Structure formats: structure tokens, C-alpha cells
A = this chain, B = another copy of it.
């Protein structure tokens, strides 16, 4: 559902080459009646490209699919999820509808009341694959994480969980490619001539919608209330998020090797987290088109600040790739099925 957006298109691309999945139904209001390749010309010549977009009949879709991916704007999924679940099928929602556990917080940040608070409480599982694997495996309704929260939580959770850093005063300075704004928005900001050759901060002062999601995720993981400063920036590239995270070491004399060791242990069984050698730091290009999250760490011994840099492709690990990773977990498949490929370079 919502296949003609960037998240939906990326799902189609990934599922099309998944060895254990078959794409049986794609829906898009804009492209209804047309082949999927008319929305994504990159699919011409492939079987996925020949699929005809449907208007989006939920019953029809739920009848033939084992899992339905919802990739629409906020507000749609909370209207649709229960019908799919009632039909005995699973749901993976790429929107924000089931991410915030408190419906009041949802209303505050997304400016609309939550219409499925029961489902939110009883069924929704936050799909940060590396940190919630057990729950995801048993879930029928996944709230797939936001792109910024994925990059940030993977970078900060290990150190917060092990009390290596102070839980206050954390700064997250994130840089995103323009596809993060989605395909439909008509804001001047996202036009080529305005976004090109420019870096621009937005959502300053803690007003970006991903702030409560990041704080909730880290608070749950480390068991204490986290409040941090999150500042996103728009960068002239199509894909990619780089999150540069700054925190004060609880022990200012901690070595970078010890920090790296915490990451190595935490993510030992996580095939999609790459810890870069000490002194080496990821660029977003290293993750282009892949589901990997690259992490690099540095310690500034003069200031006692540890810097954790994480890079992801916002449309893959930050959206569709992690959704498929969660599908793999939910259906007992190999976690990496259909996602093993490294990124495109250059």
C-alpha cells in the first residue's frame, strides 16, 4: 500500500529479488491501473515493473498476501491495520502511526488523534531489528522505525546501555539526503535548484517529530529517561543519513579501544551493523543501496567527549530494508535473506 512513494518503491525493489518472498499486490492511488514501472522506470524489464498498481482494496490484498506493508503518510495505517490483522495477516507499517507508545504523545507531534490506541498498546512492536529481535519474531504488527531514529539509536544505545556515557547533554547532529522528505511534498525546499549546493538545518530547538521517537527508544533500552538535542540538516544528495552523536564519557579517561569493544560485543550477532576500524569513519556513500549501518567511534581526550558516527541509507536500513529484515524475523527466515548485498560504489 503506497507503493509509488520512495519507501514503497524501495520495498518493491528489494522484495523483487528476495529468494523467499513474492510481490503479489501493489497499490497506489496516483498510478492505479498503470504498471509499477511507470512510477519507477528503473523497474522496466523486470517482473516487478509489470505489476499493475491497484487502487488499494484492503480485503483483496489481505486475501492473497501473508504480510501487508503500509507505506503511506501518517494517519493511514492506524485506519487500515486492524482489518488486515483480523484477516489473520501480518502488518509492517513504515509510517509513524505505531511508533510512539503513548497516543497523547502521537497527537501532540502528529497533530491528529490516534484512532487505534488499543492496537497500539496490545499489538504494536517497535521494529528496531537489532534491539528488539525477540518481540519482532512473535509480532503481527510492526512499527518500522524512522530513518533518523534508526541511525541514532544504533549509534547511542550501546554506550547508554553500558553506562559509558552520561545520559544528559547528548547532542545528535544528523545530515540527510533529500529523499528523506518523501516523493510527494511540494515544498520549495526540496526542489533541485534550491536544495543543490546547500546545507540547511531544520527542525531546530527540538521540534522535529523524530525527537520523541529517538528519546523513547533510547529510554527503553537504557532504562532511564533520556532527553537529547536532535538537529537534522538537509544535504545535497539523494540518499543517506549520517548521524554524528556527541556524549560525555562517564569516565573521561576511557580509551577509544574500550569504546569500540562495547560496540563489537553489542553487535556481535548483528549482520547488518559494521563497526569500522579505529580511526576510520563511515561516509553515507558506503551504505548506498544496502541495509548496512556503518559505525565509527572517536574519543577526544581533551574534552572527554565520545563521538559516534553512524551511516545508513535512509530508504533501506532507514525504511524498506529494515522492514524486510523484520519480515524475515517474523516469518522465521534467515535475517539477511534478500538483503545481503553490499552497497553500490561509487
In the complex, A24 has a CB within 8 A of chain B:
no
Extra pairs beyond A199-B237, A231-B307 (18, CB < 8 Å): A13-B342, A16-B342, A41-B345, A44-B294, A45-B342, A46-B342, A169-B303, A183-B193, A192-B236, A194-B346, A196-B237, A198-B237, A199-B235, A199-B311, A200-B242, A200-B282, A201-B281, A231-B246
**Bound CA span A233–B303, Å:** 19
Task: Give the residues from 294 to 333 in chain A that come closer than 8 angstroms, CB to CB, to chain B.
Answer: 294, 296, 298-303, 305, 307, 309, 311
- The one of B242, B292, B299 in contact with A199, judged by C-beta atoms closer than 8 angstroms, is B242
Task: Give the residues from 248 to 305 in chain A that come closer than 8 angstroms, CB to CB, to chain B.
Answer: 248, 256, 271-274, 276, 281-290, 292, 294, 296, 298-303, 305
Contact sample, A vs B, 26 pairs, CB 8 Å cutoff: A6-B346, A17-B341, A42-B343, A44-B274, A46-B341, A171-B246, A173-B173, A173-B246, A177-B193, A177-B197, A181-B193, A183-B191, A190-B191, A194-B285, A197-B197, A197-B240, A198-B237, A199-B311, A200-B281, A200-B282, A204-B281, A204-B307, A205-B256, A205-B300, A229-B305, A289-B289
Task: Kindly name the residue among A171, A199, A236, A244 whose own CB sees the greatest number of chain B CB atoms within 10 A.
Answer: A199
**Bound CA span A148–B70, Å:** 41
**Contact status of A196 and B238, CB under 8 A, knowing A233-B244, A294-B44, A300-B205:** yes
In the complex, A25 has a CB within 8 A of chain B:
no
In the complex, A85 has a CB within 8 A of chain B:
no
Chain B residue numbers with a CB within 8 Å of A197 are 177, 196-197, 237-240, 284-285, 288, 346
**Bound CA span A234–B168, Å:** 28
In the complex the two chains form, is A6's CB within 8 Å of B193's CB? Answer: yes
Q: Taking the nearest CB of chain B, how far is it from the CB of A96, in angstroms?
A: 20
- The one of B242, B288, B300 in contact with A206, judged by C-beta atoms closer than 8 angstroms, is B300
- The one of B181, B231, B238, B284 in contact with A244, judged by C-beta atoms closer than 8 angstroms, is B231
In the complex the two chains form, is A175's CB within 8 Å of B178's CB? Answer: no
**Bound CA span A173–B234, Å:** 14
Q: Taking the nearest CB of chain B, how far is it from the CB of A187, in angstroms?
A: 10
In the complex the two chains form, is A196's CB within 8 Å of B199's CB? Answer: no
In the complex the two chains form, is A45's CB within 8 Å of B199's CB? Answer: no
In the complex, A131 has a CB within 8 A of chain B:
no
In the complex, A2 has a CB within 8 A of chain B:
no
Determine how many copies of this chain the complex contains: 4
**Bound CA span A273–B45, Å:** 8
In the complex, A9 has a CB within 8 A of chain B:
yes
**Bound CA span A17–B339, Å:** 10
Task: Kindly name the residue among A193, A238, A300 whose own CB sees the greatest number of chain B CB atoms within 10 A.
Answer: A193
Chain B residue numbers with a CB within 8 Å of A242 are 199-201, 233
In the complex the two chains form, is A42's CB within 8 Å of B285's CB? Answer: yes
In the complex, A227 has a CB within 8 A of chain B:
yes
**Contact status of A13 and B200, CB under 8 A, knowing A192-B195, A229-B305, A235-B175:** no
| A186-218 to B contact mask, C-beta < 8 Å, 1/0 | 101011111111111110111000000000000
**Contact status of A201 and B309, CB under 8 A, knowing A231-B244, A235-B235, A246-B171:** yes
| A13-55 to B contact mask, C-beta < 8 Å, 1/0 | 1001100000000000000000000001111111011000000
